[in-house]
Amino acid sequence: MSDRRLLFVHAHPDDESSKGAATAARYVDEGAEVVLVTCTDGRRGDILNPALEGTPTADMPGIRARELAAAVDAIGFTRTHQLGEHDSGWHEHLEAVPDDGCFWHAPLGRPARRLAAILRSERPQVVVTYPPDGGYPHPDHIRTHDVTMLAVGLAADPDADVEGEPWDVARVVGCTVFTRPRLEALHGAMLERGLESPYEKWLHPDDGEEPRPLRDADRMPVAVQVDVAEWFPRRDAALLAHATQVDPDGTWFAMPRDVEREAWPYEVFVALRPEHVEDGPLDDLFAGL
């Protein structure tokens, strides 16, 4: 077992590719063990790539599992685990989530104990999940945060009903993508080059349009900022592996990569446990551990 162990907890197949993927690839290449836990099966995902419109969706869990396997290969995760929960679907208002056994309505302790057992087995020093609001208000992302934080506590508790020897995770951080500083940096870089910014309406909505709301990650100080420009191609390959979910002509690829590398070559993480990182932002998830 490597002396550096990093574990990501993500909500759906494809989240491992859109949030922290370049960081995961960097640590793999630097010799760390990098483990992925996926909470749900993605069964309620829509076909978001116009080129695949009309794809039969009767076996959406199988489709998502095959895409996930290809993305895992692209990033290079050391090992993967699935919690086996059912995708809750996208509902902006949480009271609208149907109570049909999906992740949002699962008894919190069930997936938390499963995850705690994985933590005891994998023994990571650092766990990456989402901020309290999930990064955006998808019920499964919010649930992923809640399950992860409970599981970290259970894993460390010698009296918890969890298989394995107790393990105390040293650092838990939240990852997100479209933070306000990143959007502003990329938007400004595009305008400086005389290019049309894909984030114009996000930052400067037209009259009558709702502004893009601030998220927890915009309000929380950045704990760790990892330079991952060299690993953007691995991230992009992983994104493209999720062919039903990612439009190669859509938002994920609207920013020229040379501009991104110059203006914002980072992936950033906010502190969850402990809630503050001394002398942050750090440039290494393992710094000080």
Closest CA to 170 of 282, 14, 26, 85: 282
Gap between the Cα atoms of 270 and 129, Å rounded: 10
- Would 236 be classed as within a structural domain? yes
| Residue 65 · residue 254 · CB < 8 Å | no
- Would 192 be classed as within a structural domain? no
Q: What is the DSSP letter of 137?
A: S
- Would 197 be classed as within a structural domain? no
| pLDDT confidence band for 279 (50 / 70 / 90) | confident
HSE (side-chain half, CA atoms, 13 Å) at 182? 20
Tell me the residue range of the domain where 148 lies: 5-177+216-273
- Would 287 be classed as within a structural domain? no
- Would 204 be classed as within a structural domain? no
* pLDDT tens per residue across span 218-250: 899 899 999 999 999 999 999 999 999 999 999
* pLDDT tens per residue across span 198-215: 999 989 998 878 878 889
The mean predicted confidence, pLDDT, of the chain is 95
pTM of structure = 0.96
Give the CATH number of the domain where residue 111 resides.
3.40.50.10320
> What are the phi and psi torsion angles at 174 (to 5°)?
-110, 135
Q: Give the tokens for residue 151.
A: 């599981």
The total of structural domains in the chain comes to 1
- Would 195 be classed as within a structural domain? no
Q: Is the model's pLDDT at 153 over the cut of 80?
A: yes
Give the Cβ contact number of residue 264 at 10 Å.
Answer: 19
* pLDDT tens per residue across span 87-109: 999 998 899 999 999 999 999 99
